[in-house]
Amino acid sequence: MAMHERAGQPAQAQDLTNIAQLVSAYFVNDVDPRQRAQQVQFGTSGHRGCSLQHSFNEAHILAISQALVAYREEQGITGPLLLGRDTHALSEAAYMTALEVFIGNGIEVHIQTDDGYTPTPVISHAILKYNKGRKQGLADGVVITPSHNPPTDGGFKYNPPHGGPADSDATKVIEKYANALLSSELMGVNAVSYAEARSSRLLKQVDWRASYIADLGNAINMDAIRDAKLRIGVDAMGGAGASYWHEIAKQYDLQLDVFHTEVDPSFRFMTLDKDGKIRMDCSSPYAMASLVALKDDYDVAFGNDPDYDRHGIVTRAHGLMNPNHYLAVAIDYLCQHREWATDIAIGKTLVSSAMIDRVVAAHQRPLKEMPVGFKWFAEGLHQSRLAFAGEESAGATFLARDGQAWTTDKDGILLALLAAEITAVTGRDLGAYYQDLCAQHGTSYYQRHDVASSAELNQAFAGIRAYKLKVTELAGDDVVEISTKASGNGALIGGVKVTTANGWFAARPSGTEPIYKIYCESFVSAAHLEELSTQAQALVLEWLS
């Protein structure tokens, strides 16, 4: 993908979304359920779309919410539904619609006190806390967010009683019900007016913010951060957790400077991402440019995307850390500073760095390599079979200090505060920490290519069979494994992974864009990585055609 000439520079007036037009389109634009692009489609992180493109409109949320009501009834889920949203403009509109349907169907709905915004991990934490010790009347939740996507987008995620993202079995049912409702012109949708929903006795306000912040000491060594008197910088990115940081600083006596706490659905304070779009991606050095510019002022700094399920870590010596590098550091540190049972595994996605494999092996812990999507980790975290779970796109969580589940969804606040804990306890720059891991385990050279594709070409990935691929050598090394299934659970990965002794590549289609992604890693050199990448791209194109 070509770099935009203003990547990393402040957004200008012409870059901003017309919020009034966007929200009006949500309520006004009709949906044609015969067109695939306008149907409900659950990807790895729920249903996402844009009202201007007729893919995230009032009809979609009416249908999805009613379908979820039916799914809850089928599954015998009778407890309250915890409803949160982030600060995207369409999240506000969809939140109102969903509330009208849930209350209209007689469901008890919990929302944040003061009608505040709620990060994804806080909903997960609250579900686990509510359900602890219960065998019936279990709670589940919905977070209305498109994560780090541009201001034009909306999203709807469902978290069942285990607290993490719903698996494919659940989302396929909800998707099917929702599209049937769209095709029947929403016959069967029960909804009340928004005013009636707000005044209903079924609507309960709960202070999840205070509860989550009070519990942080159970997962993070907050005393160590306080005692080290670290200077910490935070880019709140105008997201759902923006109001949390001052409360965290006050409660735990931390020295935090917090930027961009204002809620502005145009996100005009952002610097442009690599493609020239406003995208609140805390793993992008272009989107994080304003915080990276301040790196010398702080011992450690970090930012989060709008729903706070991702983290971006900035150090004085190394700037914005590569997400894979930070995952390796976090795992190495936690294996030494948490008294978790040694048979509890570490989870990673199959496209995350193999440096993690080497770190986990050094600590003699089992490793579970899963397909892309945090839903694959939820049950393992819930049952404390996984101590840590992370993915290369800067999302992770881990168990509390007592070995119990903290969240079963990605937690950007947790991973940000862990960066502060590691800095405080070790006294080291996290970038230097990673360089020490390279000295122990070898230097990783990693990259990802996004290749322009089509729906038809992406569907061709489903036809790839490992036993049919006759590849014996890759970039000068013997191929040791070709797989279309994840080793951690045997589930299909939606693509293919080829592994040698010194590197690997994986290819998979995007679930939300007309592209496919090729991930490559070498433990030899940058030149070897380029050779591996060139061969990988040629092989994938051959297999798809």
Catalytic residues: 147
- Which of 343, 377, 427 lies closest to 164 in space, CA to CA? 377
Location of structure tokens 């720059």: 429
Q: What is the Cα gyration radius of the chain?
A: 23
In whole angstroms, what separates CA 49 from the centre of its chain?
A: 16
Tokens standing for residue 91: 């999240």
Yes or no: say if 349 and 186 are a contact pair by the CB < 8 Å rule: no
Tokens standing for residue 7: 């990547």
Q: Which amino acid is at 352?
A: S
Yes or no: say if 381 and 360 are a contact pair by the CB < 8 Å rule: no
Q: Dihedral (C-alpha) 221, 212, 78, 192: value to the nearest 10 degrees?
A: -160
Q: Please state whether beta strands 81-85 and 140-144 pair in parallel, antiparallel, or not at all (unpaired).
A: parallel
Cα atoms found within 13 Å of the Cα of residue 48, Cβ hemisphere only:
18
Residues whose CB is less than 8 angstroms from the CB of residue 232 and which lie 6 or more positions away in sequence, other chains included: 225, 254, 255, 256, 257, 298, 299, 300, 301, 302, 420
Tokens standing for residue 87: 């600060």
